[in-house]
Structure formats: C-alpha cells, structure tokens
Amino acid sequence: MAAVMPAPAQSRLLMSGNEAVARAVWEAGVRVAAAYPGTPSTEMLETLAGYPDLYTEWSVNEKVSLEVAFGASMAGSRAFCAMKHVGMNVASDALMTLTLTGVQGGLVIAVADDVGLSSSQNEQDSRFWGRFAHIPVLEPADSQDAHDMVLEGYRLSESFQVPVLLRLTTRICHVKALVTVGARQTHAASGFTRDAARWVMVPGNAARRIPLMYERERRLRELAETSPLNVLEPGEDKRFGFVTSGPAAMHVREAFPDAPVLRLGLSYPVPVERVRALALQVERLVVVEETEPLLELELRAAGIAVHGKDVLPSIGELSPQVLRPALARWSGEDGPASGAAAQAVFPRPPTLCVACPHLGVYYTLSQLRNIVVSGDIGCYTLGAGHPWHALDSTISMGASMGVALGLDKGRGETDRNKRIVAVIGDSTFLHMGMQGLLDITYNRGNVTVLLLDNRAVGMTGGQDNPASGRDIHGEPAPRVDFARLVEALGVKAERIRVVDPYELPTLFKALREETKIDEPSVIITDRPCVLIDAYQPRRPYRVEESACTGCGNCVEVGCPAIHVTRREKAVKPSGREVDLSFVRIDTPACTGCDLCVQTCAPDAIVHAEPLHAASVVRPG
C-alpha cells in the first residue's frame, strides 16, 4: 500500500477511534510505529501504514513491537506501538523495566481492551498496567478524544520522560464519529546519548532509577488534580454524581443528562481531591468504569464514600440501558417496563470460509480417534466448533506447543495410548510458538505439530507477516522457510512433511503415520488463506441431485457453501435407522477447493459451468 496524501488540517472526517489515533500519531510527528495485529487494535497500524514520512512495521509479537518503539524513543524519535489487551501480557516484560529508564522521544502505547470479548480469549482491564508500571493512563471517550489525547500523550511523555498508556476499548476503536484533524508537526530525532546508568538496567542502575520513578508518579499525581483532561460537567440533579472514564462517560451523559459528571481523561494517577470535592456536592457518588473496580477501590482507600460495582456489573460493556435500570432499582424505583424480548433465532457462530484450507485439516482431525488436540489462537480456533469439534484446548498465543508437551509428560495411565497433536497457524507460530516447539524437541516430547501455513494473519483480516513474504506495505520481504526453521529447532528432517490440505487422503495418512511415531514431528500445510491475493479460485462445483444418496459426508467438511435441501430417515439392512441429508452446493460461492468431492462416494458432486457473478456473501 503506497502512502496517500492525508486529508488537510481542519478537515472534519468520519473516523473510527483507531483511525483517529493513527491520524494523531502521524500529526504528532512520530517516526516509528510498530504493532502485532489483534482485534480491536489492528486498524491503528493498518491505517498508519498509509501515511507518509514515518516507518511502520508489523512486528512478530507485541513484546518486539514495544521494544522497537522503545529503541526508537532511545534514539530520540517519537514512537508508537499498539496492541490488544492480551498483547500487553506479552509486552509487559519490556514495559516493567522501560518504565525505569523512562523515554527520550515521546512514547505512546495504545492498548485496546476487547470489553465484551467479541474476538478474544478473555476480558482484561489494561488500566492495571498504569498502576503496575507507574505510568499515566489516558482514556478517550470517543474518536475526537482519542485523536486529541494522542497529541497530549506525546507532550506528557516528553515532559515527564514517561511512557504513556492510551487505554482504548472496542467502543472507541470501532466506533466511527466525527473528528477535526490537525497538521503534522515535525520532530527530528534528538539522537542517542550513551548513558549506561540510565539505559543499562543491571541491578545497581535499576535500583537507583526506582526512586526516580516514584518521584515521577508523585508529580503526575499533582498534575492529574489540575489537568484539563479531567473535566467536571456540572448538573442540576444532585441525587447522583458520577466519576467515569472512557466510553462509559458517553453512556453516563446520555443516561443522566442532568447529573454532575467528572470525566477522567487522565484516569491514572487518580485526581483524588477533585473527586472528593464532587462527593461533597451530591447525595451519592457512583463510579462508572469498565471493567474492574479500580477507581472505586482507590477512591474508597482515600476515604471517599463511593459506589460502583455494588450496583453495576463488572463484566462486559456498560451502556445507557445497563446504567438506567441499575440505578433506578437501587433508588427504589420500579424496574423499567420490559420491552419486547429478542426473538429466539438459531445462533450464527462464526465459521471458516468457503474453501478455507483449514476445512481439510479439521475434517481429518474429526475423523481420527484417540487423539488429544492442543489448539491455538487464530481463525483455526473455529475448529473447536460445529461440525468438527476438533480442538481440546485454547489458552493463549503459542500455548498449543507447551500445553501439548505438558499433556504428553503429564499423561496418566488411562491416556497411555492417546496421541498428542498441536495445531497452530503460521503467524501464531512465529509470534510465540517457536519457543514452545524448541521446548518439545529439547525435552524429547512426543507431539505431532500441525503448522497451518496460510501466509496471513487470517482472523484479523489477512495482514502480512514473515510467512507472507510481504511487509506492511505489501512490498516483497524475506519469507520464512518453515521446513528449515522447524528443522533448525530440532525436528528431524524425516519427521517434517509439507502437505496440501486440499488432499484429504495425503493429510490423513501423514497424520496417522506421524502420530504413531514416538518423537516430535511437524506437518506443514501450505495453502494460502482464501482472503488474500495469493489464493486462486478454481472451477466451482454443483450437486447432481439424482446421484446424491444423502449420506451427509460432505456436510461434515463444514463448508458454508454446502446446504442441506431435505432430510429423510432410512433403515439400513442391519435394521439401524440413519438420518439422510440431501444437499446442494451454492455454486456462485464455491471456489472449487475439491474437499467435498473427496468425501462423496457416489460422485454426485460435479463441475458446474463457470459462473462470473460473485455471491452476495463472500467466502465466510
């Protein structure tokens, strides 16, 4: 993607929070920005990559992205990195020490919390990191706020030599709202200055930095009491006063337009005295925060009587329709008149795409018995769902490797004959899986690894990575050679196979054979993600209705283009009753991967005439 001319200053644009952050990072004169994709944070770097005059990269994981940004800051450049909430768990090892050195060029770290778990394995409140690392936390309430706080964040970062945490949530990242943008400032790199006492964190040096960190936090606490980022919006209705931050501020304003509200843009350190002043003016003071009771507990510890999670939920998103009834009930009012209830409609869980190469992998795994499958994070986590039910665990990025080894080493007598399989995608393997595989080979584990190389970070929209052979701009970049990589990690050459996941018999045979051998093995599948340019559709199929016997084997592939047209019951010669499912293929959606054809004994699936009209629904 070539850089485009950014919209001129003073333009009023409809921007998501992520786009607004990207614009402001560019305006702030940032010279280096790095990230690993992850919902809901991905679009920050994706958008930044289109701006001119700064270096952007997809890093292999969040820890590396933070280290890259920090190095750029040491060199005197303004720097930025972005990640989702669980990414900070990975990056925190760097964070917890670079807070001691502090920064040279301004450093803003955007952390996006997936409140409500739209696409995550857990829900976490990243504001904890501010307390843990003793760094300021900024919490925008909408896109304009996000834009403005990035600019303020760099000023803060440089005047206190502190990394600044910009805490976002899904309802900031993915809400589009109007933003008035500004012009780009230039900030030349001030240059790296050797200073071992500051930059080399050996125990003696680090110990001398800790008091400086606490002194910095004390000064930030003073600043919070006067910062214009913390705004008291007066109100006439003094039954309740509110202390709030992030998108919750908008929900409070909407639900209680007449109440006094203290909106904390700089939410850590907490401006305790400003809250105390508000507490004196209202009957009851309520803290509205997503998701943990952080402000609430700190205010209570400061001797201020506040309410919060005693009346409001601490799981999931807040909204006016959560706040209004909660406070009404608490005040002794009747609950709200119950509106029309949602209609009971079948669930529509996310599915793998039409012709996704993972379909072949999960169809095969679902046919194997006596295996335990340790899964990982990505599109292929969907293999846990219908119809495959082919994953037994998913924890965190790269965990499939270590968990598989632990399942192997910790197996009980009843599991003696179980074979352990780990499933991991290319990007996740490079993010945090390599170390786990090294642990398997080093410790002589008995694990068969399925490395699904589809050359993209599929789940977040097909971003490039070292397996795609392209950089963040789509320009050619060195492509990692997985076969050589896993061999270098200690897997014997004869235990490494590269298999086409569209060839079911080959895949089945490879898995059967490798799981029977008591040493580490890796089966690499090599078809590209259907959502990236490298994917080439082939001639589509249709079902010859007269030939379909209703066996339903093809339905087990799980391809969304295969539809059941009618069901029947039949009695086999053995007397056993079986369910029959007669099918058709949505030919305009089919891209001819051939997987279902291989499951069809009566050859009822045949090539259709090529069709040019795309389906309404893209694969997926």
Partner 1 sequence: MPAIAAAVIAGKPAPTQPSLNQRRPMPASHNTTNILVVGIGGQGVMTATEILAEAAMALGHDVKKTEVAGMAQRGGVVSSHLRFGPKVLSPQIAPGEADLLVGFESAEALRWCHTLRPGGVVLVNTARLVPPVVNGGLYDYPADPVGQMRALGYEVHAFDATGIARELGELRLGNTVMLGAIADHLPFPADNLLEAVLARFRTRKPQFVELNRRAFEAGRRADAREGQTT
Beta-carbon contacts of residue 36 (< 8 Å; ≥ 6 apart): 58, 59, 60, 61, 62, 64, 65, 83, 87, 431
In the complex, minimum distance from the CB of residue 20 to partner 1, in angstroms, rounded to a whole number: 13
Site for partner 1 contains 474 (CB under 8 A): no
Does 397 help bind partner 1 (rule: CB under 8 A)?
A: no
Candidate residues 340, 493, 571, 601; the one interacting with partner 1 per rule CB under 8 A: 340
Question: What is the residue whose two structure tokens read 């990242």?
Answer: 173
Closest approach, Cβ 101 to partner 1, in A, equals: 35
Please count the residues of this chain forming the interface with partner 1, following the rule CB under 8 A: 79
Q: Which residue lies nearer to partner 1 by CB, 407 or 452? A: 452
Please, are residues 382 and 348 in contact by the beta-carbon 8 Å criterion?
Answer: no
Minimum distance from CB of 457 to partner 1 (Å)?
13
Q: What phi and psi values does residue 579 have, to the nearest 5 degrees? A: -90, 130
Q: How far is the CB of 256 from partner 1 (least distance, A)?
A: 7
- Bridge-partner residues for 83, per DSSP? 111
Residue 588 binds partner 1 (CB under 8 A): yes
619 binds partner 1 (CB under 8 A): yes
- Window 485 to 544, contacts with partner 1 (CB under 8 A): none
- Our CA angle for 47, 51, 56, nearest 5°, is 75
Residue with smaller CB distance to partner 1, 178 or 547: 178
The Cα 362–Cα 385 span in angstroms is 10
Residue with smaller CB distance to partner 1, 430 or 459: 459
State yes or no: residue 250 binds partner 1 (CB under 8 A). yes
CB-wise, 106 or 378, nearer to partner 1?
A: 378
Please enumerate, as own/partner, the contacts of 214-218 that have beta carbons within 8 Å and a separation of 24 or more.
214/134, 216/102, 216/134, 216/160, 216/161, 216/162, 217/134, 217/269
Interaction with partner 1 in 268-287: which residues (CB under 8 A)? none
The gap from C-alpha 76 to its chain's centroid, in whole angstroms, comes to 30
Q: Looking at this protein, which amino acid is placed at residue 150?
A: V
* Among the listed residues 513, 579, 602, 610, the single contact to partner 1 using CB under 8 A: 579
- Of the chain, the end-to-end C-alpha distance in Å amounts to 24
**Residue closer to partner 1, measured from CB, 22 or 459:** 459
Nearer to partner 1, 77 or 143 (CB): 143
Q: Examine residue 324 and tell whether it contacts partner 1 (CB under 8 A).
A: yes
Strands 55-58 and 32-35, by their bridges, are parallel
Given the complex with partner 1, which of 204 and 332 has the nearer CB atom?
Answer: 332
Helix (H) or strand (E) holding 423: strand 419-425
Angle at CA of residue 524, ends 518 and 529, nearest 5°: 150
Beta bridge partners of 458: none
Strands 496-499 and 541-543: unpaired
Site for partner 1 in 30-59 (CB under 8 A): 39-40
Residue 58's φ and ψ, nearest 5 degrees, are -85, 120
Q: For the CB of residue 288, give the shortest distance to partner 1 in the complex, in Å.
A: 12
Per rule CB under 8 A, is residue 171 in the interface with partner 1? yes
Task: Check residue 436 and give left, alpha or beta (phi > 0: left; psi -120 to 50: alpha).
Answer: alpha
Per-residue H/E/C for 573-618? CCCCEEEEEEEEECCCCCCCCCHHHHHCCCCCEEECCCCCCCCCCC
Nearest residue (CB) to partner 1, 249 versus 447? 249
Considering only 85-93, 393-401, 446-454, 458-466, which stretch makes contact with partner 1 by CB under 8 A? 458-466
Kindly indicate which of the ranges 186-194, 244-252, 362-370, 389-397 contains the residues binding partner 1, using the contact rule CB under 8 A: 244-252
Site mask for partner 1 (CB under 8 A), range 341-360, x = bound: xxx-xxxxxxxxx-------
Query: Which C-beta is closer to partner 1: that of 395 or that of 477?
Result: 395
- Give the separation between CA 105 and CA 110, rounded to whole angstroms: 16
Considering only residues 188 through 217, tell me which ones interact with partner 1, judged by CB under 8 A. Answer: none
HEC profile for 216-235? HHHHHHHHHHHCCCEEEECC
| Nearer of residues 244 and 446 to partner 1, judged by Cβ | 244
Residue from 170, 245, 463, 591 in contact with partner 1 (CB under 8 A): 170
Q: Are 529 and 455 in contact (CB under 8 A)?
A: yes
Tokens of 16: 């998501």
Site residues for partner 1, 545-574, by CB under 8 A, read: 555, 558-560, 562-564, 567
**Residue from 52, 191, 234, 257 that binds partner 1 (CB under 8 A)?**
257
Using CB under 8 A, which of 34, 287, 382, 485 touches partner 1?
382
The only residue of 254, 475, 500, 513 in contact with partner 1, by rule CB under 8 A: 254
State both tokens at 266.
């700089």
Q: CB 353 → partner 1: shortest distance, Å?
A: 7
Report the nearest approach of partner 1 to the CB of residue 350 (Å): 4
Buried b (16+ CB within 10 A) or exposed e, 519-528: bbbbbbbbbb
C-alpha distances in Å from residue 572, one per residue of 367, 404, 567: 22, 41, 16
Question: 142 vs 290, which CB is nearer to partner 1?
Answer: 142
Rg (CA), the chain: 27
Tokens of 341: 């209830």
Q: Taking CB under 8 A as the rule, does residue 10 contact partner 1? A: no
Residues 140-169 contacting partner 1, CB under 8 A: 142
Residue 387 as a binder of partner 1 (CB under 8 A): the answer is yes
Between 411 and 563, name the residue whose CB sits nearer to partner 1. 563
- For partner 1, the closer of residues 33 and 179 by Cβ is 179
Contact status: 7 vs partner 1 (CB under 8 A)? no
**Residue from 11, 193, 321, 443 in contact with partner 1 (CB under 8 A):** 321
**Of 169 and 364, which CB lies nearer to partner 1 in the complex structure?**
169
Interacting residues with partner 1 between 83 and 122 (CB under 8 A): 114, 116, 118-119
383 binds partner 1 (CB under 8 A): no
324 and 283 Cβ atoms separated by less than 8 Å: no
